Structure 1
Amino acid sequence: MNLILNSDSYKYSHFAQYPPETAAISAYIEARRGGAHEQVLFFGLQMFLKEYLSRPVTMADVDEAEEMIRAHGLPFHRQGWELLVTRHDGRLPLLIEALPEGTLAPVGTPLVQVRNTDPDFFWLPTFIETALLRAVWYPSTVATVSHGVRKIIAGSLQRTCDDPAGILPFRLHDFGARGTTSAEQAGIGGVAHLVNFLGTDTVAALVYARRYYHEEMAGFSIPAAEHSTMTSWGEDRETDAYRNMLAQFAAPGKMVAVVSDSYDLYRAVKTIWGEELKAEVEASGGTLVVRPDSGDATRVPIDTVEMLGEIFGSTVNSKGYRVLNPAVRVIQGDGVTPEAIRIILGRLEDQGWSAENIAFGMGAGLLQKVNRDTLRFAMKANARQDAAGAWHGINKNPKTDPGKASKRYRQAVVRDGDMLRAVPLKEIGERQNLLRPVWENGALLADWKLSEIRARANPE
């Protein structure tokens, strides 16, 4: 947890590389154009501010970092870090501005901007790039992916369901905890998903929502089987395994999910659920959620809906689409990607089924199969202040890749009709700057609740 060691190796020599008259450096974070989405859902900075920047740097941290960095072959700015401890009690003399978390912004919009508040620490804003950028790009990317899926599902529900608003929050379930690289990643990515949905099996997400965003219970789940609990009965007792799930968990108004492909999904649905246990399923008063977990993810769940419809029956809603008997539903949790969801829902619609018959569980595709380039995130310096207090714009503009050109001058974000756009701060005039101070010299200035963030991200 030594903040001085939370950086890249080359950062330790940068204190000696700026012009000698430099008094401040400003830098900003954006998702550059050309990534997988045209809008980014900003989320997650508050976790980093509370967990990392709230811990003051100590002289013991300085000693540890000096020993390690010098042995690593790099210069160490001991004078600067000692001054941080003695003058600022280890608190970083920084002003961090950001859009309100939950803001949906066009790519190319500054999400965060940072500068130093003490001229002796002009080197600090870009030193923390590694940690600060990581704190923003990952949760914002997961939130954006999840939000994109929400739009896909919402569109299908709007076309095919009588109660799209009531059904939508539980249509995408987070199955990703085991596929992440750490408990911290599961918590950060898991709570990012919960900006858009209420379904999760990632308990770490609930912890992070409570710890950092004042949400006592951010998500919900149901009793569900896994292959070990089903196969432990043996294939010859598969019916007993399923019957036990009904006996233990099925009740009026309750749901229970049972993975049904341990041996033969089609036999399980048609023979076991459809014949041997059909009466018990219907008599329970609850809802059995059948989970196919192998095969072609864009075909097998549709077959499962069709089979359940033939066995348990269906009704036609006001929009002309079939809805399964309330006693049964389907969840697909294998091979789920945004594109797979789009295909499955499209095929269900084509066959006359409402999107409310199926839910989705997404694992690695939600929390792990993203990287900084998914949305082309970057943090770049945009201005330098001289000893007289004047700001000078700085930027990169590589001829070999114009798409990496960065913004010049300190930035503001303004509302232009229904859209947000970036303008140089010096040109803002009377318009409101949506980049708000969230951190200054060790103090948290904004403390968002998850409920506020959810309302901002999904106002419908």
Structure 2
Amino acid sequence: MTNILLATDSYKHSHYLQYPPGTLYVSSYIEARGDAKKDGKVVFFGVQSFIQDYLSKPFTQADIDEAEELITAHGLPFNREGWEYILNRHNGYLPIEIEALGEGTVVERGIPLVQVRNTDPLVPWLTSFIETALLRAVWYGTSVATLSFAAKVVIYDALVASSDNPEAGLPFKLHDFGGRGASSGESAGLGGMAHLVNFQGTDTIEALVAVRRVYDDKKVVAGFSLPASEHSTMTSWSRAGEGDAYANMIAKFGGGLFSIVSDSYDLFAALEDIYGTALKDDILKIDGKLIVRPDSGDPVATPIKVLEALWRKFGGTVNSKGFKVLHEKIGVIQGDGMNFESISRLCRTLITNGWSLDNIAFGMGGGLLQAHKRDDLNFAMKCNAIDVGNGWQDVQKKPATDPAKASKAGRQAVVGTMESGFTAMKDDDEPEVAFHNRFETRYANGTIWPANFAEVRARAHKGMLLTHQELSALREAA
């Protein structure tokens, strides 16, 4: 949707006629509604993508003409005068200010993430007009980043318990296989980026392109993958040629990390007879590492049985924490059936059975990029203040039928840190509040403040370590 005038809900086109007479400025904010004590935290992400994709280029007269023809035929009034004013006065760049927390910030539910206001008093309706596309980018990006983050906390916790070097393999412990399960290339790019906030393993190339487009380092490679087989490249050799298919993979890719899907026919026969017998010597001679991928069966029981079979054939070592580590030439990735719940169960089962998390990586597909709704984290963008000529006046939604949907009144500031926790308070232009306010301007009147993806990642990783410490303290207290 390249025309910003059409990247909205239909009814927004009638709203310029609905504000009180004399309205000059409108302010709105975005939050994941909830209570931090019972609803937890989110990893903020997505605003920079919206800004770059929707606000970095001006709209044109052709965009206005296109929108007028469609919107009037659609049955709504069209504010041609307002849009032509923005085109002529502001050269097609939206006269709004978007301020937000730093992306990657781990923040309690109920804390504002983004705040928007118009900067030209002649277009107060513009603040809410961009809600559809802006909120979509923020709720979706934040939802994927939060799921990926939650999995990272669980995986890191298991690594700390079972690995001699928990940090070493962590960036590649959860791989994004979700590109084909996403609803669009745009979703794959934004959702794939959100996962890359926490990890570096991905097969979603749209995410790599998106990072380069959205962030200031245009040559960064934000994620990595490895040569891997799929069922078509294995079954094309026929069942009788399964061993030859595996041998070909070893010959072509044995100089580095590579993965073979191994359940085309009989997974455990392949482990016993092909990997563990016919090709065992070849595997032990490679310079790299073979990653075995089971792709069917129970998502917890199957990888445990795979590890046991490989241990019988290849052996390994017991680390300083007393956990088994397979031979350095072979490992496992479990992608089938993986979600937050099954990853958590598999981590617990591995620890219970004496296996280090060093032996395995996880993959997620559509569950990572697609299985999200706006209401999962109760996202909303609401008006919180209006100026009709006497300065900011509080605006608040407070439905008697659902108190949980009450919105925040007044322009907002966010103070605090990830260590101490964040607090939302009214921004009444007090110097103390302004000094500690964590909101930063990301866009204003056509100017974009660049962001660095490495800094986004660093914030999220810091939040992960703090969350792990909190969980450890709760366990000790219990």
Flag whether TM exceeds 0.5 (same fold). Answer: yes
State the 1:427 CA deviation: 7.3
SS at match of 2:111: coil
SS at match of 1:51: helix
Structure 1 unaligned spans of 5+ = none
In structure 1, the residue matched to 2:395 is 394
Q: TM-score, structure 2 length as denominator?
A: 0.93
Alignment of 1:213-292 (within 5 A): 213=215, 214=217, 216-251=220-255, 254-292=256-294
| CA deviation map 1:394-437 (0-9, x unaligned) | 11111111111100000000016611110010175514111111
In structure 2, the residue matched to 1:198 is 200
Rounded Cα–Cα distance in structure 1 between residues aligned with 2:378 and 2:200: 28
Rounded Cα–Cα distance in structure 2 between residues aligned with 1:113 and 1:285: 53
Rounded Cα–Cα distance in structure 1 between residues aligned with 2:58 and 2:213: 19
Alignment of 1:290-439 (within 5 A): 290-388=292-390, 390-415=391-416, 418-426=420-428, 429-431=431-433, 432-439=436-443
Confirm or deny that 1:28 pairs with 2:25.
Answer: no
Rounded Cα–Cα distance in structure 1 between residues aligned with 2:124 and 2:203: 44
State the 1:57 CA deviation: 1.8
In structure 2, the residue matched to 1:79 is 81
Rounded Cα–Cα distance in structure 1 between residues aligned with 2:131 and 2:258: 45
Alignment of 1:87-102 (within 5 A): 87-102=89-104
Confirm or deny that 1:457 pairs with 2:460.
Answer: yes
State the 1:285 CA deviation: 3.0
Letter in 1 for 2:330: V
Q: TM-score, structure 1 length as denominator?
A: 0.97
SS at match of 1:185: helix
Rounded Cα–Cα distance in structure 2 between residues aligned with 1:101 and 1:337: 24
Asked if 2 retains the 8 angstrom alpha-carbon contact of 1:34 and 1:375, the reply is no
SS at match of 1:458: helix
Deviates more, 1:119-128 or 1:279-288: 279-288
| CA deviation map 1:217-253 (0-9, x unaligned) | 11111110100000000001110000110011002xx
In structure 1, the residue matched to 2:472 is none
Asked if 2 retains the 8 angstrom alpha-carbon contact of 1:412 and 1:428, the reply is no
Rounded Cα–Cα distance in structure 2 between residues aligned with 1:64 and 1:347: 58
Distance change in 2, residues 1:37/1:450 (3 Å) = farther
Asked if 1 retains the 8 angstrom alpha-carbon contact of 2:174 and 2:364, the reply is yes
State the 1:134 CA deviation: 0.8
Q: Percent identity?
A: 52
Runs of 4+ in 1 over 6 A off after TM superposition: none
State the 1:208 CA deviation: 1.0
Rounded Cα–Cα distance in structure 2 between residues aligned with 1:259 and 1:442: 49
Letter in 1 for 2:20: P
Asked if 1 retains the 8 angstrom alpha-carbon contact of 2:260 and 2:292, the reply is yes
Q: What is the aligned length?
A: 456
SS at match of 2:122: helix
SS at match of 1:347: helix
| CA deviation map 1:115-159 (0-9, x unaligned) | 011111110000110011012111111111111110000000000
SS at match of 1:369: coil
Rounded Cα–Cα distance in structure 1 between residues aligned with 2:307 and 2:108: 38
Residue of structure 1 aligned with 2:124, choices 122, 125, 137? 122
Q: CA RMSD in A?
A: 1.4
Asked if 2 retains the 8 angstrom alpha-carbon contact of 1:30 and 1:110, the reply is yes
Residue of structure 2 aligned with 1:68, choices 67, 70, 73? 70
SS at match of 1:434: coil
In structure 1, the residue matched to 2:6 is 5
Letter in 2 for 1:148: A
Rounded Cα–Cα distance in structure 1 between residues aligned with 2:443 and 2:257: 44
Rounded Cα–Cα distance in structure 2 between residues aligned with 1:195 and 1:2: 29
Asked if 2 retains the 8 angstrom alpha-carbon contact of 1:315 and 1:324, the reply is yes
Distance change in 2, residues 1:147/1:37 (3 Å) = farther
Confirm or deny that 1:447 pairs with 2:460.
Answer: no
Asked if 2 retains the 8 angstrom alpha-carbon contact of 1:99 and 1:111, the reply is yes
Structure 2 unaligned spans of 5+ = 466-478
State the 1:175 CA deviation: 0.3
State the 1:47 CA deviation: 1.6
Rounded Cα–Cα distance in structure 1 between residues aligned with 2:83 and 2:152: 45
Letter in 2 for 1:127: F
Rounded Cα–Cα distance in structure 1 between residues aligned with 2:442 and 2:260: 45
Rounded Cα–Cα distance in structure 2 between residues aligned with 1:206 and 1:127: 30
| CA deviation map 1:244-294 (0-9, x unaligned) | 10011002xx21100000001011111111111111111113211100000
Asked if 2 retains the 8 angstrom alpha-carbon contact of 1:34 and 1:376, the reply is no
Asked if 1 retains the 8 angstrom alpha-carbon contact of 2:35 and 2:110, the reply is no
SS at match of 1:398: coil
Letter in 1 for 2:455: E
Asked if 1 retains the 8 angstrom alpha-carbon contact of 2:182 and 2:366, the reply is yes
Rounded Cα–Cα distance in structure 1 between residues aligned with 2:249 and 2:62: 55
Rounded Cα–Cα distance in structure 2 between residues aligned with 1:14 and 1:157: 53
Alignment of 1:97-108 (within 5 A): 97-108=99-110
Asked if 2 retains the 8 angstrom alpha-carbon contact of 1:22 and 1:122, the reply is yes
